[in-house]
Structure 1
Amino acid sequence: MNIDRRLLLAGLGSVAVSGLPRRSFAATSVTIGDYEILSVSDGNLVLPGAFYFDGLPEQELNSILTPLGVPKDQVEPPCNVTLLRHEDRVVLFDAGSGDGFMPSAGALLDSLDAVGVAPEDVTHLVLTHGHPDHLWGVLDDFDDPVFTEAEHMIGQTEWDYWTDTDTVNTIGEDRASFAVGAARRLEAIEDRISFFGDADEILPGIMAHASFGHTPGHMSFEIRSGSDALLVGGDAIGNHHIAFARPDWASGSDQNPEMAAEVRTRLLDKLSNENIALLGFHLPDGGVGRVERKDSAYRFVSEDI
């Protein structure tokens, strides 16, 4: 596997109409056989630290966060969207958040433009799960599909959960808007959707892995060519700090914390034992790296050139 972390310039040094400098975009390129994989940015989230850290033992938490320079009051995880090119296919894993979730996110279309991909070039849009930062970018400001030529794909279990009219009543008050937003967007793309299940080869060389817990039907995806492989992890391994150091700890970011912890531990064990690369949606440095294990703990090692 070859990894190339590079800066892609999009009008760097020029001035936009608003008088603000235009953004520049960095992308990480990974080659596995004849698969080209790019990590492209949708910006970042801004979340209170309590979202991750409430109820955790303070002394051990500090010992994990301090060496990594992670503050406890506020975290700003990146949003890394996976783009894959293979033969005549242009595959996007997740759609980003669009303009309707957070001002700090929603940069995906600009990032795609920076690597020469227009929305209509995407042939397949594969959704890991239905949370806003992964799904809401399927529609534009006029509620029309953004990726007009793409087959949209989602796990059957995840679809069933978000399209169930009772979900908004059972998901909890803090996430009720997630349920409303997901149902509206999935209804809008219903005629474009196809479904898959655990262990299905959804496209040549790409296998779905059930990684339920973060959401009831969350899916990850293994891209493999011979002995070389990379896991598109979505939010199954949701950060580079406590998720690795203490994967058994429950996280407030997960809808089923106990199930998510079991899945997280299983995936980390698989990735470290089999030396499979990981591309995580909220991991640093483009999200691409390896998992190293020491005793019962793990660490994320970003791959740099």
Structure 2
Amino acid sequence: MTLSRRELLRGSLLTGGAGVMASLAGLPFSEAGLAAAPKVRIQTPGMYRFSVGNFEVTALLDGYIDADPTLIPSYDGLKATQLYQDQFRPPLAEKIRIPINSFVINTGEKVILIDSGTADNMGPTLGQFTGNLKAAGIAPESVDAILLTHMHVDHISGITSKDGKALFPNAELIVHKADWDYWNDDGFMSQAGDFMKSNFVNARAMSAPYLKRLTLVEEDIEVLPGIEAIAMPGHTPGHTGFILRSEGQELLIWGDVVHFTALQFAYPEWSIVFDSDMELAEKTRRKMLDRVSADKLAVLGSHLEFPGLGHVARNGDRYSYHQSSWQYTL
């Protein structure tokens, strides 16, 4: 619809404002226009669709977690506070709120899930993946493949029920061999702290129903038509990104390259303690930031603010993130 000045004026004359509408209804203006109503206090479903060429991508929100700044060893509170002010964000609280996102790609031939949230493993502010998948109208049995960026609890927990049944009964599970080997290594598990040890247990339990439909990736390769796996180690040994290519358009799904949207573009050296190798994670992050900023390649992130879609610009040795505008048509 194209709105002209004439149509705007005509609409104003026809409606005459709230006072005229109230008179037509036979009500005092105060009763017609200022009636109290209870607040809903419920956010809309966490789902958003956009296209990449002929691919339709649906971003699904699992919820959010409030992270303690001590999870960032190089954290500087004054610098972080200034970044929040510069980006017109609410004042930085004691915790840093980050989302957890998953994605579904419909290529026209296959339906592919990338990561699956936390289920009920990480508290009441999370676990919305399954409900948002349903709200998006995506039936679990329609999913042909599950691609995992890695096997942490907030990425794998939505694929299997508590009683050990595959929630995506027709799906092939595709994961990097380095990640698979790490999470199934009893030696690494025995050295882990309690929280990370629970990640080992969870990774094994969630992947168990898919063992007969398991594909392990060992190199950068096209794993499905139009989808290339790219090794991005550091956060975990087999942390993996996926490049979508369709009709001349590209998008990089980069998993956990960035956890803190407001902070890590300006300070790529701020790694998180959950990185299995923080030095390698920083190296990978800088490499990816260089690449996407130089190539103007759109990114989609598991912890970028929902729906996690945007571009990166380089500013000297720092970067800035620019969230994509709403896609009105698919």
What is the TM-score with the length of structure 1 in the denominator? 0.87
Deviations 1:92-139 (A, max 9, x none): 101211122322111111111111111111111111101101011121
Separation in 2 of the partners of 1:192 and 1:133?
22
Separation in 2 of the partners of 1:276 and 1:183?
34
Structure 1 range deviating more: 70-79 or 31-40: 70-79
Contact 1:272 1:291 in 2 (8 A): yes
1:60 aligns with 2:79: yes
Deviations 1:197-216 (A, max 9, x none): 33110001110110000111
Separation in 2 of the partners of 1:252 and 1:232?
22
Separation in 1 of the partners of 2:288 and 2:316?
16
Contact 1:163 1:186 in 2 (8 A): no
Q: Which residue number in structure 1 is paired with residue 225 of structure 2?
A: 204
Which of 285, 288, 293 is the equivalent residue of 1:264?
285
Contact 2:164 2:205 in 1 (8 A): no
Q: Which residue number in structure 1 is paired with residue 252 of structure 2?
A: 231
Q: Which residue number in structure 2 is paired with residue 24 of structure 1?
A: 44
Deviations 1:57-115 (A, max 9, x none): 34333333443436252122111111100122110101211122322111111111111
Q: Which has more radius of gyration?
A: 2
Deviations 1:2-25 (A, max 9, x none): xxxxxxxxxxxxxxxxxx987631
Q: CA RMSD in A?
A: 1.9
Separation in 1 of the partners of 2:97 and 2:164?
28
1:127 aligns with 2:148: yes
Separation in 2 of the partners of 1:206 and 1:185?
24
Q: Which amino acid aligns with 1:166?
A: G
Q: Which residue number in structure 2 is paired with residue 6 of structure 1?
A: none
User: Do the aligned partners of residues 77 and 147 (structure 1) sit closer, same or farther apart at CA in structure 2, a change above 3 Å counting?
Assistant: same
Contact 2:53 2:248 in 1 (8 A): no
Deviations 1:185-225 (A, max 9, x none): 23343222111133110001110110000111100000012
How far is 1:55 from its partner? Answer: 4.2
List gaps (5 residues or longer) in structure 2: 1-39
Q: Which amino acid aligns with 2:146?
A: L
How far is 1:56 from its partner? Answer: 2.6
Aligned sequence identity (%): 28
Q: Which residue number in structure 2 is paired with residue 183 of structure 1?
A: 204
Aligned residues: 285
For residues 153-302 of structure 1, what are the structure 2 equivalents within 5 Å? 153-302=174-323
Q: Which amino acid aligns with 2:259?
A: G
User: Do the aligned partners of residues 26 and 55 (structure 1) sit closer, same or farther apart at CA in structure 2, a change above 3 Å counting?
Assistant: closer
Q: Which residue number in structure 1 is paired with residue 118 of structure 2?
A: 97
Contact 1:49 1:72 in 2 (8 A): no
Q: Which residue number in structure 1 is paired with residue 157 of structure 2?
A: 136
Deviations 1:136-158 (A, max 9, x none): 11211322111111111111111
SS of 2:155's equivalent?
helix
Separation in 1 of the partners of 2:170 and 2:75?
45
List gaps (5 residues or longer) in structure 1: 1-19
SS of 1:45's equivalent?
strand
Separation in 1 of the partners of 2:306 and 2:272?
22
How far is 1:266 from its partner? Answer: 0.4
Separation in 2 of the partners of 1:293 and 1:60?
19
